[in-house]
Amino acid sequence: MNINKPGSTLELKQRLQNLDIDSPEYIDTSNQLARLLFRTKPQQAISLSNHSIKAAKTIDYLPGLARAYANLSHTQLCLSQYADARESANKAIQLFVHLDDPVGLLDANNALGLSYNTSGEYEKALEVFLRNDEIARERGETEMQSKALNNIACILLDQGNYSNALEYFIRAYECIQAHQNSEMSGIALLNIGVTHLELDHLEEAREYLTRSLKIISGIPEIHSRVLQNLSHYYQKKGDLDQAIEYGAQALAGHQSIENAHGIIGTLSNMGEIYLLKNDLDKARHYFEEALQLARAKNEKTEQAQNHLLLGRVYVRKKQPDVAIPILKKVFDFEQNYKTYIYEAHQELSQIYEEKKDYASALEHHKEYVRIKDALFTQQSEQKIQSLRITFKLEQAEREFRLLKQKNAELARSNRKLEQLTMQQQALNTQKSRLVEKLESYAHRDSLTNLFNRRYMDKQFQLEFDHAISNDSPLCIMICDIDNFKQVNDQFSHTVGDQVLVEVSSIISENVRDNDILSRYGGEEFVLLMPDTDQQDAISISMRIKELIEEHNWDHIQPGLRITISLGLCCDTSKTSCEKMLASADDHLYKAKQSGKNQLCY
């Protein structure tokens, strides 16, 4: 399912400049842009959605209003604004029902279910996701079905039902494979990896997290979550230095998009790693920073957790008088965070025992036992709730299988007449798909998924012949990553591969639909621009150079800086496309020799 028409952020921003600000076209384009930005630049997405809502109300444009509320809900979820997200989702749902738009309804329902899940209302969330699964199955919307299965798995994961969660995550991943949706595939792989971590299947966890990392680099929020879980993997393995390295990358990623929830969680994780290393000052620094941000964002769970962790630091530093008031701060959150409460009582009981204040030690020990018993009862109730959820899932599966069986029986009488034709059609379809896959494999670069040199050479000849026959302009640009060998030597070939993938992504997002982009060799990329004069080709090339130069590469490797050199040829009077490419390559060589990070033509 694709709620919005495809288009790069640059294209959409340029399109907005040419539209009437209160027109349906402006609202639709603004909604498309908000959808592209809600994970990477949520504050911009919020602003765009709010403006679309205001404009759509002014001109009574209900489709645009519905999509704006749905986008707003998804963005608010990314910013941990769960109550606001639920309100926005419900407004979108009412509008999509009124408009009889089932595709939009699936999307808004998904946001509503997520808002229930994040607030612990698992059974309500399950009802929404099961309803979406049913609608998506009926309509053949496999992308939304994958989301529904993924979200059902998240509920099971939160309930501690890891085996069933793993089953649903795998089903979600299988469901989305036909669409080659890298974002959803990356999320599914991430969730499978996280579940393996919970099950202590460490090598399986690393495999899935690494696979996710390779395809999700263009989405900072998800990319940072993968890095955070890789940090957790190395922490479990006991490789604390690697855990710190991945944690630092995750923290930088969360900070780049101002994801407060992710920042606080990563700061706490970093503190716990340094606590394991017995580097108490660094642990204290991270817990204090997490606590400060949690207070600012009124994140009560994180406040309780980091007061507890900070208190433990001072216990380890043999400063009980400093630890006591910090640990007692945990009690400010006694109504909701009993796990941290009883752990704080346990720490205080041990402190007072060492201080020989046995009365206070006994008092805190009694509270520790009382709250732990209450938690045991609560956990038993959660297990019962988990069983109810599992029963509902099994019931939904049984009903679906029964419906399929009845439909099969009704169709059986007609199927015999159609069977031979259907088999032939299926074979033809399978053959066509195999041919398409083989052609795709033959034309694509396995690392970047761009066209390869063989395909580019073929298309260049076709476009060159067309340009000569029709006396139309044609430009070819070749670019090369500067000092790429140093990147591989200094950081690793893995980092080098990540740079290649990200450079290809940046260029892909900033070229036009009729342009042809290929990875021509190692770190070389070729861009063919049909029907393009030299001035436009220069503008496009310079824009690509500037985007790569200004891009924040810290999420791949702190301190990393990437630039490219470019050569351009627009002279169709050359006697062959090979000579045009050779001319562009000569200009690339001049750009390299003249100091790099520049365009020559």
Question: In residues, how long is the chain?
Answer: 601
- 3-state SS of 86-134 is HHHHHHHHHHHHHHCCHHHHHHHHHHHHHHHHHCCCHHHHHHHHHHHHH
Find the range with the poorest average confidence among 63-77, 104-118, 404-418: 404-418
Distance CA(393)–CA(330), nearest Å, equals 37
Secondary structure element (H or E) that encloses residue 476, with its range: strand 474-481
pLDDT digits (tens, 9 = 90+) for 8-64: 788 888 888 888 888 999 999 999 999 988 877 888 999 999 999 999 999 999 999
pLDDT digits (tens, 9 = 90+) for 508-522: 999 998 999 999 988
Residue 401's pLDDT is 59
Residue 163's pLDDT is 81
- In this prediction, residue 393 has a pLDDT band, given cuts at 50, 70 and 90, of low
pLDDT beyond 50 at 3: no
pLDDT beyond 90 at 473: yes
Which position has the higher pLDDT, 420 or 241? 241
pLDDT digits (tens, 9 = 90+) for 211-226: 998 888 777 888 999 9
Q: Which amino acid, 88?
A: S
Asked whether 477 and 529 are in contact (CB, 8 A), the reply is yes
Residue 168's pLDDT is 81
In angstroms, how far apart are the furthest CA atoms of the chain? 97
- In this prediction, residue 233 has a pLDDT band, given cuts at 50, 70 and 90, of very high
User: DSSP H helical segments within 159-238, as ranges?
Assistant: 162-176, 182-198, 202-215, 220-237
pTM of the model: 0.52
User: Among candidates 333, 275, 345, 271, which has minimal Cα distance to 303?
Assistant: 333
Mean of the per-residue pLDDT values of the chain: 86
> Per 3-state DSSP, what percentage of the chain is helix, strand, and coil (rounded to 5)?
75, 5, 20
Which position has the higher pLDDT, 546 or 144? 546
Tally of CA atoms within 13 A in the half-sphere of 581 that contains its CB: 18
Asked whether 163 and 153 are in contact (CB, 8 A), the reply is no
Q: What are the C-alpha distances in Å from 15 to residues 23, 55, 303?
A: 13, 17, 44
In whole angstroms, how large is the CA radius of gyration of the chain? 28
Tally of CA atoms within 13 A in the half-sphere of 85 that contains its CB: 25
pLDDT digits (tens, 9 = 90+) for 308-365: 999 999 999 999 999 999 999 998 876 555 678 888 999 999 999 999 999 999 999 9
Q: Tokens in use for 515?
A: 């342009």
Distance CA(520)–CA(27), nearest Å, equals 39
- In this prediction, residue 269 has a pLDDT band, given cuts at 50, 70 and 90, of very high
Q: Sheet harboring 516-521: ordered strands across? A: 516-521, 524-530, 474-481, 564-569, 599-600
pLDDT beyond 70 at 391: no
pLDDT beyond 50 at 179: yes
Residue 379's pLDDT is 46
pLDDT beyond 80 at 272: yes
With b for 16 or more beta-carbon neighbours within 10 A and e for fewer, the 151-162 pattern comes to bbbbbbbbbebb
Q: Tokens in use for 327?
A: 């640990």
- In this prediction, residue 475 has a pLDDT band, given cuts at 50, 70 and 90, of very high
- Quickly list DSSP for 299-368: -HHHHHHHHHHHHHHHHHTT-HHHHHHHHHGGGGGTTT-HHHHHHHHHHHHHHHHHTT-HHHHHHHHHHH
Our CA dihedral for 500, 553, 246, 147, rounded to 10 degrees, sits at -70
Dihedral sign (CA 530, 531, 533, 539): negative
DSSP letter for 551, please.
Answer: S
The residues near 415 (Cβ < 8 Å, ≥ 6 apart) are 422
Most trustworthy range by pLDDT among 78-87, 433-442, 571-580: 571-580
pLDDT digits (tens, 9 = 90+) for 451-471: 999 899 999 999 999 999 999
